[in-house]
Chain A
């Protein structure tokens, strides 16, 4: 008997290109379980868009559906172009922190401000992993990387908080050690209108694990121990849970609501 999620995957491209211990498979599994629970027999009503980075390879080429794999940082405007022309499609962006919060940061801010009707899953592995583990906008201060050999002098961005402040309808953050909670948030994200943003903390055993001498399992414990669903009390803790849950009209509805005079 085949795996219940195989119907959503292009079996001819498997196995995935991900490193052993990578969290991308866990994110893909949580998303596809949410899709299955929402009653989709296939991915025909979806369009998946991704940019460049390890997480961009979750939908392209692994998902058996329409997938667009475009330039670094440009998944969001590409996805918005699809959504504005085909509002009936559920348009989903999956990408990494460098792609979505770094080079694509301006697009992210404005997509949230517009409440663009997109579901965005940002897999945050704390670095630019595909290119070798360079520092990124989400790298914790002090962390040594290949381009910060003496430690990261910059402060990381709390991307989920920024997106919530910019006006997104739904914002949540979990980790790959919180799969049930993540799946529930993904299901909620699929059911809501407007801009929906879900950040998933995920380990990169190849590029971060080596620097920190941390096995994948140690990362999972780190997410469990330092993640808190109440207000963080120490600088090492980070908030997990929902940062915004609104139900305001999305961009598609706002465009339709205008009176167009002759």
Chain B
């Protein structure tokens, strides 16, 4: 039996977290993400989970790191300015292989920007916001259903791969109410646990995730955000240990990418023009596809729900088939750079950027741009 609920995106994320077994949430209030926090402030204590409002976003993410090592499935949610503060903790979480989930409900920046208005300007920050060579996983919902499903996937991926996962939502998705279908039981992936004294930070194969010993069980685990060997002992000048570590931290994600790669391809087979989008812009792209069909223009749409590492094949495939690729996004052209790279000169790549006031990209705007290109 499946149930249906009517939820806004932010509520669907909070419910997704509960369904995924999140039992520790810490955060700091910020528009337009606060509904996630308020929902979990009510729900978590009833289930024996921990809810904690921190003094700032830095404290929030570091309390997640502590709780995660203590055994929690841990999550926080924020928006642009708070996400900037959390970059420090994300870097430490990547280096210490600590599972946790950070939701960034995007608003307009830079600075404090337009606080309650939608934007998609944090794409590059989500990928590269920390100093140093590093990788994590970025997922992006386009609907309330995605908000629920991708939160479950984010928690599972974080746990299984021992990596922080970022969910990039935006204000339009956060506050749009839609039906969400629920399964009776969500799949649960667990972090690897050591059977005996096994190295918690080393693996003989890139796909192997080292086991994560829980605190307080006599493992005497040494965790450090500095470069360390397989046993967590600092090695702050050894060139070989550093290279092996940072390469393995990226390789382990790539080795498992098929498990968290989500995208939709609509009408790609017969397409004469392609549209690539994520988040709220993808909703408009799908509506534009219908408008264009009425005018006899066959548009193929790729909706990206995994934004990092990027699913490259569907965009390469689309670039081979079409006259041109259009990339509508609520920023000044961040995803477009990737699409240009993947199109590799096979077809022109045209950006459609819109920022300010939280206005969505309207389907008619996308359709008009496509018509311009096709003619």
A binding-site residues for B, Cβ under 8 Å:
10, 13, 42-45, 47, 49, 60-61, 64-71, 74, 76-86, 88-89, 106-107, 109-110, 255, 258, 260, 262
Contact = CB atoms under 8 A, between A and B. Distances in A.
Contact of B54 (A10, A45, A77, A255): A77
Contact of A84 (B52, B96, B215, B219): B52
B223 A74 contact: no
A50 to B, nearest CB: 9
A89 B88 contact: no
B92 A85 contact: no
B234 A70 contact: no
Centre residue among B52, B66, B67, B217 by max chain A CB count within 10 A = B66
14 contacts: A45-B216, A61-B232, A66-B221, A69-B226, A70-B223, A71-B89, A71-B225, A74-B89, A74-B92, A81-B62, A81-B64, A81-B68, A82-B215, A109-B55
Q: 5 shortest A-B CB distances, which residue pairs?
A: A81-B66, A81-B63, A77-B59, A81-B67, A77-B62
Interface of B: 23-24, 26, 45-46, 50, 52, 54-56, 58-60, 62-72, 74, 88-89, 91-92, 96, 215-226, 232-234
B226 A66 contact: no
Given A47-B216, A68-B69, A70-B65, A81 B26 contact: yes
Contact of B63 (A44, A84, A89, A106): A84
A262 B47 CA distance: 10
Contact of A82 (B55, B67, B222): B67
Main secondary structure, interface of B, reads mixed
A67 B223 contact: yes
A109 B219 CA distance: 32
Contacts of B54: 77
B218 to A, nearest CB: 5
Given A45-B216, A49-B66, A71-B88, A85 B45 contact: no
Contacts of A67: 221-223
A81 B70 contact: yes
Contacts of B69: 68, 82
A78 B62 contact: yes
Contacts of B218: 42, 44
Nearest to B60: A77
A68 B232 CA distance: 10
Contacts, number: 134
A74 B71 contact: no
A79 B65 CA distance: 9
A14 to B, nearest CB: 12
Contacts of B46: 260, 262
B63 A70 contact: no
B223 A68 contact: yes
Given A77-B54, A82-B70, A60 B88 contact: no
Contacts of B91: 71
Given A74-B58, A78-B65, A85 B50 contact: yes
Nearest to B23: A85
Contact of B24 (A65, A71, A74, A84): A84
Given A84-B50, A85-B72, A262-B46, A78 B216 contact: no
A89 B217 CA distance: 10
Given A68-B96, A69-B224, A81-B74, 17 more contacts: A60-B234, A64-B220, A66-B215, A68-B66, A69-B222, A70-B62, A70-B92, A76-B59, A77-B54, A78-B65, A79-B66, A81-B52, A81-B64, A82-B67, A85-B70, A258-B45, A262-B46
Nearest to B68: A81
B216 A86 contact: yes
B226 A80 contact: no
Contacts of B234: 60-61, 69
A107 B59 contact: yes
Contact of B66 (A61, A77, A260): A77
Contacts of A66: 215-216, 219-221, 223
A68 B219 CA distance: 13
Given A13-B233, A86-B216, A106 B55 contact: yes
A83 B52 CA distance: 12
B88 A74 contact: yes
Given A61-B234, A89-B215, A89-B216, A80 B45 contact: no
B216 A44 contact: yes
A107 B64 CA distance: 15
B91 to A, nearest CB: 8
Contacts of B96: 68, 70
